[in-house]
Amino acid sequence: MKKHLLVLGCAALAAFGAACSSDPALKSAVITPMEEPSEQIQQRFANEIRTLNELDMKQEVLTNCNGVLRYCQGVYNEDEPGKFAILVFLHGFGERGEENLAQLRLAVPEIVKQMREGKHKVIVLAPECPGDQVWAPLHRGGAMGDLMEEPYQALGMIPVLIEKKIEEFKADRKRVYVTGLSMGGYGCWDLLARYGTDIFAAGMPCCGGSDPNRAEKMSDLPVMIFHGSDDTTVPPQLARWMYITMRKTGNRNVFLREYFGVGHNCWDKAYSSKDTWDWLFSQRLGHQSDVHPGYQPVGPVTASQYEKGFGFNGGPRPKGSKPGDGFISAFPNAEEQAKQREWQALESVEPAPAEDEKPAE
């Protein structure tokens, strides 16, 4: 794996243009169109190239003193009023490469569909992690430790890419969002913990993981967490631990949606929900949105239940509850609720002993 490098020399993207004008990573950053793929690549990635064209995306390359980041970019609903928002999507382990196409295989078509149908005025950025790297450390259990001082090289270039796009499109820096699946879910968590509200208005990690000790860094950040209850690639306990500990920090705009009976692929359900995107795009830096995620809650999580597990009643949203109360959703029938209670009956929120590191697919 390439040596991870620090790309940004400042913490706050809100003042990025002024505070980082002398930062070599930004000052040296150049964006160019990607070269036409060879005939061999065109044959090998015919489906992905077809998707690229159907989604009206283009391939570009960000180059600076720290390396190269390839990405696909789509500009949607530009005739809608207001400034552009920016949405960064991080792909999974199996879509790494150098062709700048594989990251379009999963989730991106559905994301673009939702952007078009929801008329969200947005720049969608889908960077590609090189084949010899990962977005962030991939742990399947146990404490991961505090954030490294420096992000991995590919992940560390993303804030520079965001700043370049804010400049290019005069985009709204108060509405920058990140989501990712599997390995990209880990990367999403890393970005949120590392930069928080210095850059991001909200985040949505899917089937990823992080260290609960990092929750304090995100105490004021809106986060929607997605996971499948039967995920054997990235254990759902990682999502539960993050949810519980973020709630303990006082964060009332963090939600966990755990899909009953679903394995690693929870992104098809997560990204196909209109309510998901309405919630995300309602978030702004400095503004507490009152938009609820919209899914069927099965019971509130109260302070007294943190150590005892979650309570589920299968009924409607409790009277007097309000957005941010922290509901966990399920498909509420008696059999599924029984299993919910079984795997949510946590005696403690302390992580299990660490397992061997295994890449998420």
Summarize pLDDT for 82-114 with one digit per residue, the tens: 999 999 999 999 999 999 999 999 999 999 999
Homologous superfamily of the 24-344 domain (CATH): Alpha/Beta hydrolase fold, catalytic domain (3.40.50.1820)
**Mean of pLDDT values over 301-326:** 36
Q: pLDDT category, 25, cuts 50, 70, 90?
A: confident
Given the structure tokens 């040296």, which residue do they identify? 28
Highest mean pLDDT among 13-17, 187-191, 283-287: 187-191
Stronger pLDDT, 12 or 231, i.e. the higher one: 231
* pLDDT for residue 207 is more than 50: yes
User: What 3 state SS string does the chain have?
Assistant: CCCCCCCCCCCCHHHHHHHCCCCHHHHCCEEEECCCCCHHHHHHCHHHHHHHHHCCEEEEEEEECCEEEEEEEEEECCCCCCCCEEEEEECCHHHCCCCCCHHHCCCHHHHHHHHHHHCCCEEEEEEECCCCCCCCCCCCCCCCCCCCCCCCHHHHCHHHHHHHHHHHHCCCCCCEEEEEECHHHHHHHHHHHHHHHHCCCEEEEECCCCCHHHHHHHCCCCEEEEEECCCCCCCCHHHHHHHHHHHHCCCCCEEEEEECCCCCCCHHHHHCCHHHHHHHHHCECCECCCCCCCCCEEEECCHHHCCCCCCCCCCCCCCCCCCCCCEEECCCCHHHHHHHHHHHCCCCCCCCCCCCCCCCC
Report percent pLDDT > 90 for the chain. Answer: 51
Stronger pLDDT, 70 or 17, i.e. the higher one: 70
Least confident of 131-135, 195-199, 333-337: 333-337
* pLDDT for residue 304 is more than 60: no
Q: pLDDT category, 22, cuts 50, 70, 90?
A: low
* pLDDT for residue 359 is more than 60: no
For 44, residues 6+ apart whose C-beta sits below 8 A from its C-beta are: 99
Highest mean pLDDT among 223-237, 285-299, 312-326: 223-237
* pLDDT for residue 19 is more than 70: no
* pLDDT for residue 170 is more than 60: yes
pLDDT at 267: 95
* pLDDT for residue 6 is more than 80: no
Angle at 262 between CA 303 and CA 230, to 5 degrees: 70
pLDDT at 261: 77
pLDDT at 249: 87
pLDDT at 195: 94
d(CA 242, CA 131): 28
Question: In a 10 Å sphere around its CB, with 0-12 CB exposed, 13-18 middle and 19+ buried, how is residue 207 labelled?
Answer: buried
Tokens in use for 321?
């509850």
* pLDDT for residue 126 is more than 80: yes
pLDDT at 245: 84
Contact (Cβ atoms closer than 8 angstroms) between residue 59 and residue 72 = yes
* pLDDT for residue 168 is more than 90: yes
Could you tell me how many residues make up the chain?
361
* pLDDT for residue 18 is more than 50: no
* pLDDT for residue 308 is more than 60: no
* pLDDT for residue 138 is more than 90: no
CB atoms within 10 A of CB 96: 20
Highest mean pLDDT among 46-60, 128-142, 225-239: 46-60
* pLDDT for residue 314 is more than 60: no
Cross-strand partners of 47: none
Smallest CA-to-CA distance from 136 within 242, 266, 1 is with 1
Query: pLDDT for 255-293, tens place per residue?
Result: 888 887 788 999 999 999 888 899 999 999 988 777 766
pLDDT at 361: 52
Going from N- to C-terminal start, the domains of the chain cover 24-344
Q: pLDDT category, 144, cuts 50, 70, 90?
A: low
